[in-house]
Amino acid sequence: MTRSAPRAPGTPGPAGLPRLVPERITDYRAHLERHGPLPAITKRSGRQEFIAAVQRSGLRGRGGGAFPTGTKLRAVADGRRGAIVVANGAEGEPASRKDATLLAAAPHLVLDGAFVAADAVGADEIYVVVGRANRGGYDAISAAITERSARSSRPVRLATVPDRYVAGEESALVHVLNGGEAKPIFVPPRPYERGVRNRPTLIQNVETLANLALIARYGDAWYRALGTSDEPGSVLVTIGGVVRSPGVFEFALGTPLPAVLDAAGGATVPLSAVLVGGYFGAWIPAAALPNLTLTHGSLKANGGTLGCGLVAAFPAARCGVVESARIARYLAEETAGQCGPCVHGLAAVADLMDTIAHERTGPGAHDTLVRWLGDIEHRGACHLPDAAVGFLRSALSVFADEFVSHRNGTCTATDPNPVLPIPEGPTRDWSWQ
């Protein structure tokens, strides 16, 4: 095989897509031949210049919160010395595979992003965190860390967390890396103020870090060559449900939602809805898809969210009430057990959803569900209760006719099989191993 010469720093970046995972590259030498060496950012002026470039790029976090990455970098860089960088690849969302795919296929790009982030904020330690079930990602990133250990001036530590829904939340990662349980803790202080070992801590999703590595090489103007003016760049999306070829795909932000589904071969049967953003996300009616694009703004205006980058096609032959009840039960079982709205509120809502899905209830149960969702909202110790509330409110809207049918003791679905993945036997081990 003929190998190309290493790319010189400052060389214009590759045009078009894919950017993040054009092919599986786990060997460091092959990685350098494709991307070239990572520019060093050492002096304070260089750090500030890079952070400014990230701010100009418009890059937002890819872990679900979509917080501006440059703002996050600056907050840690402006703190006291001795910062720590945490690469978050925990990916607790059961239906998402984008972080696992990235870690397995491009571990050195993720490490590049962690190193350039550490340069930018003045960090002297790096942690990479993955979920325990992600053996492929763990093995790839572990081998990459070992391969680069002789070349690195900073220690890189690899940690795992239980495969729980909230274990990848920022404060949960801080808690577990400080020797506690992998569950969210109350804030403030926020990680950028006092995180791991009470030091300023930058926590970024692994996809965010991979984009940082590319911006460091090719610049903010190159990054903005894809996407929209308000939401530039590309994003990894897990496409699932009833599509011909489910998997992880990379799209320019602003891509129409129908084109997203077409990239996976299109829906195999007529659809009633699409779940966007994962179980922290929302249902969107299939009839609305032609008017939507893959952007935070477009999805938010229609009650959705880009979230973890999940787009799951839901067939008209299945029951949205039953499917939503399954997910409500899963979210209730994922409670960290720290506050009443989560422990008791979500359990009660899940019980009521089961009743609505499988028994004749009349209008009273629907009214009670709406009231309980209002009682739970904004009262949790973390974002899990609010996410469940948002998800179920979207179900009440999108599957309104089906809720009426269930209230009268009927169901219009013709296929009882579930569509979305729910882990069996939830792990109750919160400790760090």
Share of the chain above pLDDT 70, in %: 95
Mean pLDDT confidence for 276-302: 95
How many domains does the chain divide into?
3
Cis peptide before 189 (omega within 30 of 0): yes
Both tokens assigned to 49: 């210049």
CATH of the domain at 401: 1.20.1440.230
CA distance 69 to 209: 9
Checking if the pLDDT of 430 tops 60, the result is no
Question: In this predicted model, what pLDDT tens digit does every residue of 359-395 receive, in sequence order?
Answer: 888 788 999 999 999 999 988 778 899 999 999 999 9
Residues 336 and 286 in one domain: no
pLDDT the model gives residue 11: 56
Higher-pLDDT residue of 433 and 93 is 93
DSSP 23: S
CA distance 384 to 390: 10
Residues 185 and 102 in one domain: yes
Using the 3D structure, point to which of 171, 199, 223 is the last residue of a domain.
Answer: 223
Residues 56 and 187 in one domain: yes
CA distance 335 to 332: 6
pLDDT the model gives residue 12: 64
Using the 3D structure, point to which of 198, 223, 248 is the last residue of a domain.
Answer: 223
Residues 189 and 77 in one domain: yes
pLDDT the model gives residue 380: 78
Residues 151 and 245 in one domain: no
Question: Could you tell me the pTM of the whole model?
Answer: 0.93
DSSP helix, strand, coil percent of the chain (3-state; round to 5): 45, 15, 40
Q: Report DSSP letters for 321-380, one per residue.
A: HHHHHHHHHHHHHT--S--HIIIIIHHHHHHHHHHHHHS---HHHHHHHHHHHHHHTT-S
Mean pLDDT of the chain: 91
Residues 107 and 216 in one domain: yes
Using CA atoms, how far residue 138 sits from 31, 84, 89, 107, 175, in Å, is 18, 20, 9, 9, 21
Checking if the pLDDT of 426 tops 50, the result is no
Residues 109 and 156 in one domain: yes
Checking if the pLDDT of 425 tops 70, the result is no
Q: Tell whether 22 is covered by a domain.
A: no
Contact predicate 332/361, CB 8 Å: no
Q: Minimum mean pLDDT among 12-26, 189-203, 275-289, 324-338: which range? A: 12-26
Q: Tell whether 417 is covered by a domain.
A: no
Checking if the pLDDT of 201 tops 90, the result is yes
Q: Tell whether 77 is covered by a domain.
A: yes
Question: In this predicted model, what pLDDT tens digit does every residue of 3-45 receive, in sequence order?
Answer: 233 344 445 677 889 999 988 999 999 999 999 999 888 777 7
Q: Tell whether 8 is covered by a domain.
A: no
Q: Tell whether 23 is covered by a domain.
A: no
Q: Tell whether 20 is covered by a domain.
A: no
Q: Tell whether 33 is covered by a domain.
A: yes
Residues 384 and 266 in one domain: no
Checking if the pLDDT of 78 tops 60, the result is yes
Residues 51 and 132 in one domain: yes
Question: In this predicted model, what pLDDT tens digit does every residue of 93-122 receive, in sequence order?
Answer: 999 999 999 999 999 999 999 999 999 999
Using the 3D structure, point to which of 223, 257, 277 is the last residue of a domain.
Answer: 223
Residues 324 and 308 in one domain: no
CA distance 244 to 262: 9
Residues 271 and 198 in one domain: no
Residues 136 and 51 in one domain: yes
Both tokens assigned to 406: 């269930």
Question: In this predicted model, what pLDDT tens digit does every residue of 295-351 receive, in sequence order?
Answer: 999 999 999 999 999 999 999 999 999 999 999 999 999 988 888 888 899 999 999
pLDDT the model gives residue 333: 93
Question: In this predicted model, what pLDDT tens digit does every residue of 120-158 receive, in sequence order?
Answer: 999 999 999 999 999 999 999 999 999 998 777 789 999
CATH of the domain at 291: 3.10.20.600
Q: Tell whether 421 is covered by a domain.
A: no
Range of the domain at 53: 28-223
